[in-house]
Amino acid sequence: MPELPDVEGYRRILADEGEGRRVDEVRVADPGVLREVTPGGLRRALRGRRIEAADRHGKWLVARTDGPALLLHFGMTGRLVGCPADEPPHRHDRVVFDLDDGRQLRFRDQRKLQGIRLARDRAAVDRLLAGQGPDALSVDAAGLDRLLAGRRAGVKAVLTDQSVLAGLGNLLADEILWRARIHPSRRTDGLDRAERRRLADAMRRVLRDSVRVGHVPARRASLTAHRDDAEPTCPRCGGPLRRDRIAGRTTAWCPHCQPPP
Partner DNA sequence: TCGCTTGTTGATGG
Partner DNA sequence: GCCATCAACAAGCG
Catalytically active residues, by annotation: 2-3, 59, 249
CA 247/CA 42 separation, integer angstroms: 36
CA 239/CA 255 separation, integer angstroms: 8
User: How far out from the chain centre does Cα 48 lie?
Assistant: 29
Within the chain, what is the greatest distance between any pair of CA atoms?
Answer: 58
Shortest Cβ 66–DNA spacing (Å): 28
Return the number of other C-beta atoms located less than 10 Å from residue 109's C-beta.
27
Which helix (H) or strand (E) covers residue 163, if one does? Answer: none
Shortest Cβ 21–DNA spacing (Å): 28
| Residue closer to DNA (CB basis): 248 or 260 | 248
| Residues of the shown chain interacting with DNA in the complex, contacts defined by CB under 7 A | 1-3, 30, 32, 58-59, 73, 75-76, 91, 110-114, 131, 151-154, 157, 160, 162, 169-171, 188, 247-250
Which one, of 52, 65, 232, 58, lies nearest residue 130 by Cα? 58
Shortest Cβ 73–DNA spacing (Å): 6
Shortest Cβ 253–DNA spacing (Å): 13
User: How far out from the chain centre does Cα 3 lie?
Assistant: 2
CA 236/CA 209 separation, integer angstroms: 18
Q: Is 5 left (phi over 0), alpha (psi -120 to 50) or beta?
A: alpha
- Rg of the chain taking only CA atoms, in angstroms: 20
Shortest Cβ 81–DNA spacing (Å): 16
CA 72/CA 78 separation, integer angstroms: 9
| Residue closer to DNA (CB basis): 70 or 128 | 128
